[in-house]
A and B are shown apart, each in its own frame.
Chain A
Amino acid sequence: MASSSSSSLSRVVVKSSDNNLFVVNKKVASQSQLLKQCIDNMEEKGTNDVILIPLSNVTSNILTLVLEYCEKHADFADDDNNNQELKQWDHEFLKKFDYATLNSLTMAADYMVTKSLLNLCCQFIADSIKDLTVQQIRQIFDIKNDFTPQEEADIKNENAWAFR
């Protein structure tokens, strides 16, 4: 273990909402500002014990995905953001998921303060919904139409060109 004067954690244990444990090394965990903050706090206190971080909002399915992303990005942490290989990987990574998974992943990225993953998910969702119809959007996001038929027709008339 590290010397007693300055402590340095090499790993943390993260617990999902459904009580599964994940051992994560520090470099990977640091991709999430939430986990990084926990690690920094413990290090300041001089703890040498492995710490347990409970994430009450993230299921193990989704946590596995977030950690997969963090692992890949930790490998490229010293590269600039424009690495083409990483961009390609990001795209392939998200392509596999349905909207329900994408939404959960986006919320987990937000909760765990993994800004680059949040940004990536939002851009991916935006790109994939931009040409969809109003009806399709309501279905995907499970939104109830609260306009009267007249109100909806008025908005459509006002911007008729956008519906062509």
Chain B
Amino acid sequence: MAALPTNIIVEILSKLPVKSLLRFQCICKSWQSLIKSPYFIKIQFNQTLTSHSNLHLLASVEHSSLHCSELDLCHDQVSFSFSALHHPLKPRQPITIVGSYNGVVCISNISKSDVCLYNPLTKSHRKLPASKMSIPNINMTVFGFGYDRNNDDYKVLRIVQGLGKIDDSKNKAEVFSLQSNSRKSIQGIPYSLYYGYYVGVLVNEALHCGYSRIEF
């Protein structure tokens, strides 16, 4: 049988789910380097987005564990079969989902000291370096997770709500960039943000946070 040319192999493999691709890395060296290449990853990813295939629903159950189920938008789905994910934060430690984008999930422990970006499909993850901000009460941290299209970068925003009169100096903030694997301090915003269980919500590439008109 004639061997398929590379462009057709790429075309076929780009239509496979991640789990098959991870397995097929050990078919041969050329398949391995293809599957690992950023070029292929991008094609496969766009393919997945446009075909609405390989969708997953993520759920955190009572802040203790992370579960994942396949999601089918093309057919009427009668039930979900959730299976527990072995997330990279300490097992059995309560966690919360900060946000997710393009299959990358940002999770933190409930005490907000450990934050991690995690890809449940490839099981790869990156822990964020600890914050250098002085945090009077760790519960008063508000997280936000977003994607920066221009730089193809995933970012985590951490705002620490200040106490007392609202002005710029009261809220401190820093942004972690996955690309550079570093964080930088930015100016806070002069609002009394809702904190506790609240996180920033990503809509149209901007993070949105709730705030109170009453000073804390």
Are A and B genuine complex partners? yes
Chain A residues, CB < 8 A from B25: 155, 159
| B interface residues, how many (CB within 8 angstroms) | 26
Cβ of A159 and Cβ of B15 under 8 Å apart?
no
CB nearest neighbor in A for B3: A142
Chain A residues, CB < 8 A from B213: none
Selected interface stretch from B5-13, B101-109, B150-158, B190-198: B5-13
**Total residue contacts A-B, CB cutoff 8 A:** 75
Cα-based distance from A127 to B12 in the complex (angstroms): 9
Cβ of B28 and Cβ of A126 under 8 Å apart?
no
Binding site for B on A (CB under 8 A): 99-100, 103-104, 106-107, 110, 118-119, 122-123, 125-127, 129-131, 134, 137-138, 141-147, 152, 155-156, 159, 161-163
B132 at the interface (CB under 8 A from A): no
Cβ of B28 and Cβ of A106 under 8 Å apart?
no
Chain A residues, CB < 8 A from B13: 126
Is chain A's interface secondary structure helix, strand, loop, or mixed overall? helix
Contact flag A130-B16 (CB < 8 Å), given A106-B8, A122-B11: yes
Contact flag A110-B7 (CB < 8 Å), given A103-B2, A125-B12, A126-B13: yes
Chain A residues, CB < 8 A from B78: none
Contact flag A161-B123 (CB < 8 Å), given A100-B1, A103-B2, A141-B4: yes
Cβ of A130 and Cβ of B17 under 8 Å apart?
yes
Cβ of A159 and Cβ of B27 under 8 Å apart?
no
Cβ of B1 and Cβ of A103 under 8 Å apart?
yes
Cβ of B12 and Cβ of A143 under 8 Å apart?
no
